[in-house]
Amino acid sequence: MKVLVVGGGGREHALVWKIGQSEKVDKIYCAPGNAGIAGLATCVSIEPDRIETLVAFARKEGIDLTVVGPEAPLVAGIVDAFEAEGLKVFGPRRRAAEIEGSKAFAKGLMKKYGIPTARHRTFEDPDLAREYVRQVGAPVVLKADGLAAGKGVIVAQSEEEALVAVERIMEVRAFGAAGRRLVVEEYLEGEEVSVLALVDGEHFVPLASSQDHKRAYDGDEGPNTGGMGAYSPAPCYTPGLAREVEEKVLGPVVKAMVREGRPYRGILYAGLMLTQDGPRVLEFNCRFGDPETQVVLPRMKTDLVAAMEAVVEGRLEEIELDWYPEAAVGVVLASGGYPLEYEEGKVIRGLEEAAALQGVLLFHAGTDRKEAPEGGTGDGPRREEIVTAGGRVLGVVALGESIRQAVDLAYRAVGMIEFEGMHYRRDIAHRALSREGE
């Protein structure tokens, strides 16, 4: 069969890599892909927001299954468009994808159906939002309602910081139209965990747990990013907690979406805070997490394509997922300045050496290829170089018998790679290691 993966980041590289292991698959296309994906799939220069062009390409090439990576085309209705043409596609329809597209909608859904989450209020008037902030004080969490590439959440430790955040989100519009509405919610303390689940409208099957690192700097300091690293499994997510989340979060939200006339099919991401009062939902996402996917899929034994087909065809109850026992740790290498301003086009060195380490996988996120003259002159033969082309550049993933082993191997590989301005966190999986007494 022919598979089309939509997107061009680290998540999509991991999806292409895993899909390529399926005996069902003969050919993989990726739109638009990146320098790493080009080694595994045929990259086509169609951006994820060009939905009509993607539909036409899938029709022309006889694509048997399309897998949508990013949230923006899902929220824009790419699944609806493909289904209208009779094309098989993995992902939620537009009305179901609103569970990520609008934090206000997700919060309202959780309140209506008793799904545990933080107390909150939603505002369209910045003055009323400021008044509420002064009333509740700090710390407090402020979230742009719409899509903001994982950066629209501000955890304010002081009232002054929160008031600045209101202005930045709602008046300066730092996150564009996503800031038209603002969700102000209670600050929760505890350990975070990411739980992904396959959902076919009625049934759900959870994937292995993982933990993301959102803050830019060591010690969970600095601004929120799209994710600076992840590991799987998350030791804090015990079997007892998993059962509780299935009973109180995953099962109820799947049923709630049916009752709301928005049956959910695809992958559902639940970002959870494990508080003293039990798990609380921080957010729902309508797609595979990034960088969580890069550490979860390498641990999956099961044929991902077979599982996706079961979701699309409404027979997920037939699927059981099997997992390798090894732990996976992923470190994101980012451009200097990320998540703020950064430069692109920096030559990346050491990729082949790092990839040669047994147990190491390199998932490209923001990379491109360019030709450069051999010997530094404009004449003569030319060679191809891989250069930076985004904020998050690479995900360096390592597998090990323990999280400690995987951490050590991941950072050994990181030490072999370099590009100008390269920035990464040096404490990925620190919570898991502290649980192990390290």
Across 152-175, average pLDDT: 93
Across 20-26, average pLDDT: 98
Q: CA–CA separation, 38 vs 104, rounded Å? A: 38
Is pLDDT at 435 greater than 90 in this prediction?
Answer: no
Is pLDDT at 316 greater than 80 in this prediction?
Answer: yes
Is pLDDT at 405 greater than 80 in this prediction?
Answer: yes
Is pLDDT at 364 greater than 80 in this prediction?
Answer: yes
**Which token pair is 342?**
């950064």
Q: Residue 119 is which amino acid?
A: R
Query: What tens digit of pLDDT does each residue of 271-313 get?
Result: 999 999 999 999 999 999 999 999 999 999 999 999 999 999 9
Q: What is the pLDDT of residue 384?
A: 85
Is pLDDT at 11 greater than 80 in this prediction?
Answer: yes
Closest CA to 319 of 205, 239, 196, 209: 205
Q: Is 305 helix (H, G, I), strand (E, B) or coil?
A: helix
Q: How confident is the model at residue 381 (pLDDT cuts 50, 70, 90)?
A: low
Is pLDDT at 376 greater than 70 in this prediction?
Answer: no
Across 233-253, average pLDDT: 97
**What pTM was estimated for this model as a whole?**
0.94
Note whether 309 and 319 are within 8 A (CB): no
Is pLDDT at 239 greater than 60 in this prediction?
Answer: yes
Q: CA–CA separation, 106 vs 429, rounded Å? A: 29
Q: What is the pLDDT of residue 438?
A: 59
CA atoms within 13 A on the CB side of 148: 26
Of the two residues 46 and 149, the one the predictor is more confident about is: 46
Q: CA–CA separation, 294 vs 328, rounded Å? A: 9
Is pLDDT at 408 greater than 80 in this prediction?
Answer: yes
Q: Residue 352 is which amino acid?
A: E
Task: Give percent of the chain above pLDDT 90.
Answer: 91
Q: How confident is the model at residue 378 (pLDDT cuts 50, 70, 90)?
A: low
Closest CA to 338 of 429, 215, 430, 225: 225
Other beta carbons less than 10 A from residue 13's beta carbon: 33
Task: Return mean pLDDT, the chain.
Answer: 95
Q: Alpha carbon of 52 to those of 5, 76, 84, 292: distances in Å?
A: 15, 12, 11, 29
Is pLDDT at 377 greater than 60 in this prediction?
Answer: no
Q: What is the pLDDT of residue 73?
A: 98
Lowest pLDDT segment from 149-153, 384-388, 412-416, 422-426: 149-153
Across 147-164, average pLDDT: 88
Query: What tens digit of pLDDT does each residue of 391-404 get?
Result: 999 999 999 999 99
Query: What tens digit of pLDDT does each residue of 49-60 get?
Result: 999 999 999 999
Cβ within 8 Å of residue 159, ≥6 positions away: 133, 134, 137, 138
